[in-house]
Chain A
Amino acid sequence: MSSGARRGGAVWGWGLAALLAWLVVYPILLVLVASVRSDGGWTLDHVRRFLALSTTWEALRGSLWISLASVALAGLIGIPLAFLMSWVDFPGRRILSGLVALPAVLPPLVGVIAFLFLYGESGFVSHLVQAVFGLADAPWRLEGAAAILLVHAYSMYVYFYLFTRAGLARLDGSLLEAAASLGAGRLRTLFRVVLPLLRPSLTGAALLTFMTSLASFSAPYIFGGGFRVLTTQIVATRLNGDNGLAMVQTVALAGIAFAGLWLFRGNVRGGGGLAQGKGVAPRRRRIQSPAGRLAAGAAGWMVAGVLLLPHLTLVLVSFVPVGTWTVQPLPPRYSIVNYLSLLAEPERFRPLLNSLVMAAGATLAALALAVAAGVLAVRRRVRAGGVIEALLALPWAVPGTVFAIALATAFSVSRPAVGRILLVGTIWILPLAYLVRNLPITGRAILAGFRQLDPSLEEAAASLGAGRWRTLARVTLPLLRPALMAGATLAFVTALGDFVTSIILYTYDTRPISLEILSSLRQADVGAAAAYGVFLMLVSAAVFLAGGDRRAPQADA
């Protein structure tokens, strides 16, 4: 590398860092500024109103409470399930283990509407209960904190399940044997050996669940009713035209997110005793008694049923023509008219195309930025490398609502001199939002890919006469393919189903699928809403299969 190239590397490094800072940090700073400004002057007026309003305190408490309760519930379901699947062999285990990650292919809003069709006042299960017990009214209302927690538990237990299973898979079986040989019983071994070793995995899952719940928007928006959380409160405040207060609320939400991250920070690092040694995970224990096997099998199938019900419901409802299903327990008519109109009517096809194009574009751009970051930060080790990596990771800690508000603030005026261009209301703002939110996903995958890549492979290419671009195209990128696929898959699926940023930033021309689902629902066209949902579900599943990556998407809302 010549000295010119090295200087060039430094320039590119700081250039990329500046670009990322402009996308990731600058908009949030502008929100911070806007929260203490009014009519061109500095003021604490908005902050004072924020502190004085009982609704904002209610929302703050609600957000915290829902997030902590979601962590507890998701842990209560996910951890035992992971132990069961890792350590016990029972009839139907294989099928169940294939279904356990199913919530991952439901984008947040789609999961929420599936729950609406299933457990809502006129949902299938409510009708069933009403019929069985001969009740005059619906047995419950799917509303408030309980409804939100139900959806969160269903979609977020997957984090605890996957993290715990991964932890258990790395657990050296000889540690359990050592504990047993030292006279420890099963419970003592569990609490003194297994759980302490799993701590990094469990903390990681708890952090992910906490951040996801805090940022959750779809469930509180659809089911919240009178229950307030910050995400929905921000949107409501903004809709009421009180921009200053919305800014303070946004800052408060970001503040809680960073506080959560800071509280968990130490615990997530360090692999404990898990990764060391070439341990073999303990063998699964077979349940011996026939009654036990029957009970475990039945329980397993019941869980599988509960997991699969939302998907089946969506598929069923997607065949309901508009206006045909009113008070009957089951829809009286089925037809493929919804799917046909999805494809045939330009107005209905438009959102599909919008979402696909915008998600693909945002994913490609995020991949390109991540590859540039990998080349500069990992391979050429430019001085700005640390800054670049931090900026790529930062959006992970920022709830989608915060980013949407921040981008809406930053790019609502045209002042190129201070780095603000008018994007709100154009076709560019949504892809930009998706891109920013995709950065941590693609960044993490591709930086890890670069770190695993033997640098001498690229040196070999150079020594064989390949220039920088040929080396990138013929050696680096092909070898990074698994990382690229993993990053692209997650990023694409997240962007495709996005609701939380879209609802704040969309324009009529760029309305994505999620907004179309919402408007179909408002027009009581449940069939069309479900058909869009099925489309999202199938594309997500197909992309996951193609990507060969079955990890849960880093869902948001």
Chain B
Amino acid sequence: MTDYLSVEGLAKRFDGFDAVADVSLSLTQGEILALLGPSGSGKTTTLRLLAGFERPDAGRILVAGQDVTRLAPARRHFGMVFQHYALFPHLDVGRNVAFGLESQGIPPAEITARVATALGRVDLTGFERRSVAALSGGQQQRVALARALAPEPRVLLLDEPLSNLDPTLRERTRRELRELIHRIGITTVLVTHEQEEAFELGDRVALLRDGRLQQVGTPDVLYETPVNPFVAGFVGRSSRLSGRLEGGTPPRVFIEGVSWDVPRAPHAGGEVWVVVRPEGLTLTAPGPGVLTGTVRERRFLGAAALFRVVTEGGATIEVSATPRAAAPGDVVGLAPTGVGLHLFPADAP
């Protein structure tokens, strides 16, 4: 499929630091991309660059082949839902939703109909004359969405769309939001700092750090084949050990005197970081060929439990196992399961 929205080498500096540096992304029509990252990673700046509220120092933004980099926000035909919704407090719900339609010079009769449609889509039929201040947080969020979608924008931008909702509402709204976006089929970029949100809403996730793109891919790809320790650490749970890699077939990694075969090696040999998912190791009896450690803590999660094990070498590892596999104080062995073990050069970020 061809790209509908593409970003090429986008960069923005604020007062001497790189808010966004050399970010390139591409989305097919109807795709949802989640920009994920810790605060200060540049995800909101990237969104504001897309919206046109900030002007990039370098790079291009293309929509359906049209270069919109220098276009004013008003002329991009992008819809945006703001973090705090930014509903106009002096206009009622209907006038808020009509605002973008009026900008396009649509006749009043058609505006009325389209406002009703837009509100119906977010389950707010008949809310036209309500004051926005009188709405609940969830309703405000849906009005903001209806307002952004009413003018039928080419791209929808969502800035932390669920961060102002309470946790119980958030999960339901997330599902409804995803269904709505897919039903409309609009190309969407959303910003979030929560992995769960990014994974559930995004067809693909772009992980940012210090203004730089770390990895883009489906949630599975990010989890299973992280390109660096930061991605491995930010996406999902993991523990980090230091080890030494020796080439050969298959390559072997040495940790605290124990050696394991690994399927892929990042380089020919030398010091490495070993990033282990909780399911990457299993608890066994201590013995040859396994790491030995002491269980320090057990966190019960229902079907499984997370065990914090401190090895003889002093490393702390989180291991997932059946709840009754061990108890705090037990001395256990740790053996690789064959998945969830990632090696990175020791000088990787």
**Beta-carbon contact of A456 and B86 below 8 Å:** yes
**A474 nearest in chain B by CB position:** B99
**Beta-carbon contact of B103 and A459 below 8 Å:** no
Question: Is A226 an interface residue, CB under 8 A from the partner?
Answer: no
* Distance A475 CA – B75 CA, assembled complex (angstroms): 18
* Distance A278 CA – B23 CA, assembled complex (angstroms): 44
Specify which of B76, B100, B104, B157 lies most central, judged by the most chain A CB atoms within 10 Å of its CB: B100
**B51 nearest in chain A by CB position:** A463
Question: Is A466 an interface residue, CB under 8 A from the partner?
Answer: yes
Residues of B within 8 A of A465 (CB): 74-75, 77, 100, 103-104, 151
Question: Is B189 an interface residue, CB under 8 A from the partner?
Answer: no
Q: A3-B55, A463-B78 are in contact. Are A470 and B86 (CB under 8 A)?
A: no
* Distance A461 CA – B55 CA, assembled complex (angstroms): 18
**How far apart are B172's CB and chain A's nearest CB, in angstroms?**
25
Question: Is B148 an interface residue, CB under 8 A from the partner?
Answer: yes
Question: Is A457 an interface residue, CB under 8 A from the partner?
Answer: yes
Taking a contact as CB atoms closer than 8 A, the residue among B55, B76, B151 that contacts A1 in the complex is B55
Report A181-230 residues with CB < 8 Å from chain B CB. none
**Beta-carbon contact of B84 and A466 below 8 Å:** no
Taking a contact as CB atoms closer than 8 A, the residue among A2, A454, A470 that contacts B72 in the complex is A2
Question: Is A478 an interface residue, CB under 8 A from the partner?
Answer: yes
**Beta-carbon contact of A462 and B52 below 8 Å:** yes
* Distance A461 CA – B79 CA, assembled complex (angstroms): 10
* Distance A461 CA – B72 CA, assembled complex (angstroms): 12
Question: Is B147 an interface residue, CB under 8 A from the partner?
Answer: yes
**Beta-carbon contact of B88 and A459 below 8 Å:** no
**Beta-carbon contact of B88 and A475 below 8 Å:** yes
Residues of B within 8 A of A470 (CB): 103
**B144 nearest in chain A by CB position:** A460
* Distance A177 CA – B238 CA, assembled complex (angstroms): 52
Report B12-65 residues with CB < 8 Å from chain A CB. 51-53, 55
Specify which of B75, B86, B147 lies most central, judged by the most chain A CB atoms within 10 Å of its CB: B86
**How far apart are B103's CB and chain A's nearest CB, in angstroms?**
3
**How far apart are B43's CB and chain A's nearest CB, in angstroms?**
16
* Distance A467 CA – B72 CA, assembled complex (angstroms): 9
Question: Is B296 an interface residue, CB under 8 A from the partner?
Answer: no
**How far apart are A347's CB and chain B's nearest CB, in angstroms?**
45
**B98 nearest in chain A by CB position:** A464
**Beta-carbon contact of B73 and A457 below 8 Å:** no
**How far apart are A449's CB and chain B's nearest CB, in angstroms?**
13
**Beta-carbon contact of B99 and A464 below 8 Å:** yes
Taking a contact as CB atoms closer than 8 A, the residue among A462, A475, A479 that contacts B53 in the complex is A462
**Beta-carbon contact of B88 and A463 below 8 Å:** no
* Distance A460 CA – B48 CA, assembled complex (angstroms): 12
* Distance A318 CA – B332 CA, assembled complex (angstroms): 102
Residues of B within 8 A of A5 (CB): 72
Report A431-481 residues with CB < 8 Å from chain B CB. 454, 456-457, 459-467, 470-471, 474-475, 478-479, 481
Report B83-110 residues with CB < 8 Å from chain A CB. 83-84, 86-90, 99-100, 103-104
**Beta-carbon contact of A459 and B51 below 8 Å:** yes
* Distance A462 CA – B76 CA, assembled complex (angstroms): 9
Residues of A within 8 A of B82 (CB): 456, 459-460
**Beta-carbon contact of A463 and B75 below 8 Å:** no
**B159 nearest in chain A by CB position:** A456
**Beta-carbon contact of B73 and A463 below 8 Å:** yes
**A2 nearest in chain B by CB position:** B70
Report A302-348 residues with CB < 8 Å from chain B CB. none
**B157 nearest in chain A by CB position:** A463
**Beta-carbon contact of B88 and A462 below 8 Å:** no
Residues of A within 8 A of B157 (CB): 463
Report A1-38 residues with CB < 8 Å from chain B CB. 1-3, 5-6
Specify which of B51, B87, B89, B99 lies most central, judged by the most chain A CB atoms within 10 Å of its CB: B99
**How far apart are A480's CB and chain B's nearest CB, in angstroms?**
10
Question: Is B80 an interface residue, CB under 8 A from the partner?
Answer: yes
**Beta-carbon contact of B88 and A466 below 8 Å:** no
**How far apart are A428's CB and chain B's nearest CB, in angstroms?**
36
* Distance A474 CA – B100 CA, assembled complex (angstroms): 12
Specify which of A461, A462, A478, A481 lies most central, judged by the most chain B CB atoms within 10 Å of its CB: A462
**Beta-carbon contact of A460 and B80 below 8 Å:** yes
The total of chain B residues at the interface (CB under 8 A) is 30
**How far apart are B318's CB and chain A's nearest CB, in angstroms?**
40
* Distance A478 CA – B78 CA, assembled complex (angstroms): 24
* Distance A325 CA – B78 CA, assembled complex (angstroms): 76
**How far apart are A542's CB and chain B's nearest CB, in angstroms?**
25
**Beta-carbon contact of B88 and A457 below 8 Å:** yes
Q: A460-B82, A464-B99, A464-B103 are in contact. Are A478 and B90 (CB under 8 A)?
A: yes
**Beta-carbon contact of B74 and A466 below 8 Å:** yes
* Distance A5 CA – B70 CA, assembled complex (angstroms): 11
Report A462-512 residues with CB < 8 Å from chain B CB. 462-467, 470-471, 474-475, 478-479, 481
* Distance A481 CA – B91 CA, assembled complex (angstroms): 13
Report B225-255 residues with CB < 8 Å from chain A CB. none
**Beta-carbon contact of A460 and B86 below 8 Å:** yes
**B100 nearest in chain A by CB position:** A464
* Distance A3 CA – B57 CA, assembled complex (angstroms): 10
Residues of A within 8 A of B76 (CB): 463
* Distance A459 CA – B53 CA, assembled complex (angstroms): 7
Residues of A within 8 A of B90 (CB): 478-479, 481
Residues of B within 8 A of A1 (CB): 52, 55, 72
Residues of A within 8 A of B51 (CB): 459, 463
**Beta-carbon contact of A454 and B84 below 8 Å:** yes
* Distance A255 CA – B53 CA, assembled complex (angstroms): 46
**How far apart are A463's CB and chain B's nearest CB, in angstroms?**
4
* Distance A478 CA – B79 CA, assembled complex (angstroms): 23
Residues of A within 8 A of B83 (CB): 456
* Distance A478 CA – B88 CA, assembled complex (angstroms): 10
* Distance A478 CA – B96 CA, assembled complex (angstroms): 14
**How far apart are B114's CB and chain A's nearest CB, in angstroms?**
13
**How far apart are B151's CB and chain A's nearest CB, in angstroms?**
6
* Distance A471 CA – B100 CA, assembled complex (angstroms): 11
**A463 nearest in chain B by CB position:** B80
* Distance A465 CA – B104 CA, assembled complex (angstroms): 7
Residues of A within 8 A of B52 (CB): 1, 462-463
Q: A462-B72, A463-B78, A465-B74 are in contact. Are A2 and B86 (CB under 8 A)?
A: no
Report A115-162 residues with CB < 8 Å from chain B CB. none
Residues of B within 8 A of A475 (CB): 88
Residues of B within 8 A of A481 (CB): 90
Q: A3-B55, A470-B103 are in contact. Are A462 and B73 (CB under 8 A)?
A: yes
* Distance A459 CA – B85 CA, assembled complex (angstroms): 11
Residues of B within 8 A of A479 (CB): 88-90
**Beta-carbon contact of A2 and B53 below 8 Å:** no
**How far apart are A86's CB and chain B's nearest CB, in angstroms?**
31
**How far apart are A318's CB and chain B's nearest CB, in angstroms?**
41
Not counting A464-B79, A465-B100, a sample of 18 additional A-B residue pairs whose C-beta atoms are within 8 angstroms of each other reads: A1-B72, A5-B72, A454-B86, A456-B82, A460-B80, A460-B88, A462-B53, A462-B73, A463-B78, A463-B79, A464-B99, A465-B74, A465-B104, A466-B99, A467-B72, A471-B74, A475-B88, A478-B90
Task: Identify 23 residue pairs between A and B in the complex whose beta-carbon atoms are under 8 Å apart, listed by A's number.
Answer: A3-B55, A3-B70, A456-B82, A456-B84, A457-B88, A459-B51, A459-B80, A459-B86, A460-B86, A461-B88, A461-B99, A462-B53, A463-B74, A464-B99, A464-B147, A464-B148, A464-B151, A465-B77, A465-B100, A465-B151, A466-B74, A475-B88, A481-B90
B residues neighboring A (CB under 8 Å)? 51-53, 55, 70, 72-80, 82-84, 86-90, 99-100, 103-104, 147-148, 151, 157
A residues neighboring B (CB under 8 Å)? 1-3, 5-6, 454, 456-457, 459-467, 470-471, 474-475, 478-479, 481
